[in-house]
Structure 1
């Protein structure tokens, strides 16, 4: 979309508003329909005004640049312009602050400002400079000089938007670990007793369980030059963009731990090893079901019944599977060639992955052109149970679980902690800035039989 498109669409909205008003006056549409149109038109107009402002600002910058461009520009770069600063340009206030920092053995930073009034020398007469680089000849990069003109947009690294922790109940871990008691068996059950008879003891078996937090952490660094040169790049300013990307990496790893981590030294799913807890797919004592000769939909139905009739005696309330597997189940057809699940959703209500039908292309991309992590992950339902799709669950495998019966609890000992340090040993010697992010979390499955791992489902 360019500026002409924006103006054209603004004119169309005005015409549509006039037409809708006429329809309302003539009784062809209701007041509610007219109000809904007004709300929609207002929202779109706000977006168009924002786009128009951006296009106009960009045009002003490029217009000024192109007007000044004529091959090589005969600039007066050394006539009255600032001269290079020297240590003698330190102000008394800066000098005093530097002395105080040295006495206190504290890190300190100051920037010596440039002074105006440069004097032109004879050798300067032949020096010319070029116009800033145009979009048709963009050069530079983070390893060299950055472009002088840059859009305020940036594209972040894509990560799986479904956050597993958001699907589970959360609990705070007030100490170095969390423990709980489980009643796992009885030696006898309550029974009928004759008058005056001896009552039997059920002899409960009580076990103690414990889970310890797992630290998940990472670093990201940038040079002083990249920090400074991107400061006016809007979304692409590394000082604010990099810590966001680092935090997104942490959340992505967190979900991998919750699904496939193992306390052992090897992992059949390729997930984290030597963790302090086992992920949902690596729990011992869970139920399991292979598709075998059943159809995939029949196998899933039986997996639900397994949870209901097993020792958990629970109704499943969540299914986690790969989007490709969920898509394959949604494409299951009857002998007549019709989509089976379409009968549940109604005519034309069956979407590819269960997400709501698209209302059309977006007016503008999301910030950083990403789908935010923690975006609602439930895509429809299967046999009355909500389905969450994530690419971090192996294709062909589904987790049928009853969260309410103890299928999983997400523990937090230390929430996401983001720290910044420009004064570390390596940062000081290499002139870089560094961020650190970390958290200490854990997963417990109080009742493993509330989980049923289904394998052999379609993987594509």
Structure 2
């Protein structure tokens, strides 16, 4: 049995990549030949021929991805032994870019001029009634805890904040009063947002985003004899718009908790901020387009779709990938497959007739992927419906404003001596290339 080391894995990776490149050239050549002949790529016989050719490529690509993951693990282990105890870098939760970038989000709120002014003016030491009355007027402006550019960088890099903390009640400071034994809280864990990270990103300074799509193409390119009129091609374009939507929510907090900067930072970082990003993620994936909701990817008109039917789950996923590859006006490679965790479990636990797992043994290391395409297993996707597609080029999230936090009174806050903290961000989203996605239903 060969020794598992970096050189062996690197050699195997190079060979797998070579096989993948050859398989891609063959499959893409078949597809290009059909396009040149003008045949319908979605016709069953042509579709299956392309699909089978790309399966060879996908298998080689998946093998290369697993070897690449193994190579990274071995390199990390080697580095650890080369530099034991090496430290340095930024504090936990910090990002490059100066003092503000090093601050936690809650600290940005508690270190803001508006919050510090409350302490200087003795609001928290002058009695709850006075504090509620003064803070209830609201700040002169919302406190921006994440700028638009920072949210964009955060989504692009996939660095989301910590999971949330909760207490026993929404309106009481009781959860923040700890006994000696155990400081902190038992966390109610939320999912890490994923889908908003992988779609295309942009910014806008308007409340309406206008974009132009190419709606139809007539390719008239053909060999032409000398002194003969060329064929005329036609390209149709359409102007589309999508509106900026606002994602908001608030939490009531007692003045006593408001005065405790440490606990206030926890509420802002781990509840207000994360919950807004959670909602953004679910809307990008599956917003129903009703009222102020985004029209998410799976609810977009014109995406490819078919039912599982008699296909195996693995074959159905590959068929969805091929549908995107052969869709007119797109012909893109899927960069992600999105599915509910329960659906991923169905895929991962499938066995052959001998009881062996089709996706490899349970102890096999590596990221979630099928046919070499990474899988996003998240509850933002509807159970029973999976989606494959090119998320980066098929959809775009435009950020209008960063994430800000404001304070004020709501309802009977005054009589209960509490303040409401409101978090808000504004953005627009659209899956502007619907055929860059394909869903499989009844999964």
TM-score (norm 2): 0.58
Residue 432 (str. 1) matches residue 418 (str. 2):
yes
Q: Deviations over 1:164-214 (max 9, x none)?
A: 211212111132222221112135522333323333331211111211111
Please identify the structure whose Cα radius of gyration is greater. 1
Secondary structure in structure 2 of the residue aligned to 1:39:
coil
Q: Deviations over 1:120-169 (max 9, x none)?
A: xxxxxxxxxxxxxxxxxxxxx84699456463312333212133211212
1:211–1:277 CA contact under 8 A, matched in 2? no
Residue 152 (str. 1) matches residue 183 (str. 2):
yes
- Structure 1 stretches of 5 or more lacking a match? 1-31, 44-100, 102-106, 114-140, 264-272, 357-378
2:194–2:376 CA contact under 8 A, matched in 1? no
User: How many Å separate the matches in 1 of 2:83 and 2:236?
Assistant: 65
Q: 1:247 aligns with which of 248, 270, 273?
A: 273
User: How many Å separate the matches in 2 of 1:33 and 1:197?
Assistant: 68
Secondary structure in structure 1 of the residue aligned to 2:402:
strand
Q: 2:439 aligns with which of 429, 450, 453?
A: 453
1:211–1:276 CA contact under 8 A, matched in 2? no
CA shift in 2, pair 1:248/1:197, >3 Å: same
2:405–2:424 CA contact under 8 A, matched in 1? yes
Deviation of 1:290 after TM superposition, in Å, equals 1.2
CA shift in 2, pair 1:41/1:215, >3 Å: closer
Aligned to 1:89: none
Secondary structure in structure 1 of the residue aligned to 2:394:
coil
Deviation of 1:431 after TM superposition, in Å, equals 2.6
Residue 408 (str. 1) matches residue 395 (str. 2):
yes
Residue 298 (str. 1) matches residue 312 (str. 2):
no
Q: Deviations over 1:436-455 (max 9, x none)?
A: 11111122212101100111
Pairing 1:334-349 to 2, within 5 Å after superposition: 334-342=352-360, 349=363
User: How many Å separate the matches in 2 of 1:383 and 1:297?
Assistant: 8
Q: Deviations over 1:241-263 (max 9, x none)?
A: 22221111111111121122122
TM-score (norm 1): 0.56
- Structure 2 stretches of 5 or more lacking a match? 1-76, 89-117, 128-171
Deviation of 1:220 after TM superposition, in Å, equals 1.2
Deviation of 1:426 after TM superposition, in Å, equals 5.8
Aligned to 1:394: 382
User: How many Å separate the matches in 1 of 2:123 and 2:324?
Assistant: 62
User: How many Å separate the matches in 2 of 1:200 and 1:391?
Assistant: 51
Residue 381 (str. 1) matches residue 365 (str. 2):
no
Aligned residues: 290
User: How many Å separate the matches in 1 of 2:379 and 2:390?
Assistant: 21
Residue 443 (str. 1) matches residue 429 (str. 2):
yes
Aligned to 1:260: 286
Residue 193 (str. 1) matches residue 224 (str. 2):
yes
1:220–1:243 CA contact under 8 A, matched in 2? no
More helix by percentage: 2
2:173–2:253 CA contact under 8 A, matched in 1? no
- RMSD of Structure 2 on Structure 1 (CA): 3.3
Deviation of 1:298 after TM superposition, in Å, equals 1.1
CA shift in 2, pair 1:287/1:110, >3 Å: closer
Residue 183 (str. 1) matches residue 214 (str. 2):
yes
CA shift in 2, pair 1:444/1:42, >3 Å: closer
Aligned to 1:279: 296
Higher relative contact order (CA 8 A, sep 6+): 2
